[in-house]
Structure 1
Amino acid sequence: MAKRGEKKNLRGRAGRMQGGRGSGRATQGHVRLWGRHAVEAALKNPLRSHHKLWATREGIASLDGELPADFPIEYAEVADLARLVARDAPHQGLVLECDPLEDVHLADVMDGDEARPIMVLDQVTDPHNVGAILRSAAAFNAAAIVTQDRHAPPESGVVAKSASGALEIVPWVRVVNLARALEELAEAGYWRIGLAGEAEVNFAEALPAGPVALVLGAEGEGMRHNVAAHCDALARLPIGEAMESLNVSNAAAIALYAVATR
């Protein structure tokens, strides 16, 4: 597995935990990830700089591949690891502290590939939803997700666990102004479709040939007016009357499937 960053001596004694014990937060400037898929993907990502892995021996054994002999590991008991993560977080015997990923710019992901949509999220703040959307984006080969730098969750263990490894695969672009980002997408040839339950047009009818940017708003409030105004079309998913709406991550997965199979 790839590893960059500071090297430390191996520690084999469980229980002598360091770094934010009980807080569930990483030390300043670092990100703390947990769970097998999230940790394993981060360890394999050559763009990550790793600092330390706390783990049970069973957690280490569950990883796909071997760590370098000099990788900084501190073995611990399950209860000790629970003090390093968010309350009741399913760490699966693995907690990794690493640097956050480098910033990605919108120009870097606008490749114009009609088979690789770009997901634009307007004030989707729940980290579980963002993680689930990242997972669907990876499954359907989306080019990136785009969020505002404010009103969006930071890179975190909750996002990574919900993404099940996709945080390391799908570029995450953060922009200052979402409306301006949509203008740039249009200039690059993307057709911008906003998902809105009140729209009259079905999503399949609004879906054109060519590259697509899918725009989704927060649950309840939906897209802001200015963001919706920067879409080429608003469309709805044809769900039954028994349910008023879908969870935003479910809606994203359905829209991505529709793009993949058009």
Structure 2
Amino acid sequence: MGLTARIRTRDGWAVSHAVVTVTDMAGTQVLRAEADEKGVVGDPTGLAPGAYTVVVTAVGHGPAASTAIVTASGRVDAGTITLARQGGGDELPPPGPWTVDPAHSTVGAVARHLGISSVRGRFTDFSAAIEVAPDEVTKSRVEAVIRAASIDTGNGPRDTHLRSADFLDVETYPEITYRSTGLTVAGPDRWTVHGDLTMRGVVRPVDLDLVHLGTGADPWGGTRAAFRATGELHREDFAMNYNQVVRAGVAAIGTTLRVELEIQAVQGESLPQA
């Protein structure tokens, strides 16, 4: 196989039918290949040893270029090439209000179980609003409300226990809220959202690592923006101290929770029909 490559978005999805063009150092095109539905390029054309430029393009994405060295074997593995969706990158979406679409968003958390595996859960009932500041993007804000009783880990008895006073105590504290207090640039394509999380009546600061994945039109005449956010929190900080030590000091349930958010937001203060 002469050229192999894997084309992905920044959030790990395959970019099907991306086009890979290879030119030599004189700028002459020596190879052109198209990725398959899995975002994989595998072209059998052998290449002469030397340095080449690999350019990847795809509809709806910005181009990417890199340099590849072909050895005497005539083969080169360009590895994983990441394309940014148009509308993503260093900028947040256009300023103004955005409403999170819960039907196309996920609010989840991951906890360690028995010290050897992970248990995933999600909240199925939540609402959130985003305000992208027009001048200073760092003044943008987000507010979210989660109905604590909507926790779903795929196991009924476990969910019942999580709703009890040992954990979320949903009868006393039916809502979990998050209100941002600031936004800082954390890198060329990411931000840190600073905010206050209120759970079980306890308020603690929680930071979220945020990536804007892109902005574009939807089938209902609206404009949507996609985000991914991750963070960590310690449940003891919110008076959730229940645990069971099962062996050699290993806790049945980890005390650190990893927060994982996949968000779609619609421009404006109301959602279109979906």
TM range (shorter): under 0.3
Normalised by the size of structure 2, how large is the TM-score?
0.25
Q: Which structure dedicates a bigger proportion of its chain to helix?
A: 1
Q: Which structure dedicates a bigger proportion of its chain to strand?
A: 2
Normalised by the size of structure 1, how large is the TM-score?
0.26
Q: Which has the higher contact order (CA 8 A, sep 6+)?
A: 1
Computing the radius of gyration from Cα coordinates, the structure with the larger value is: 2
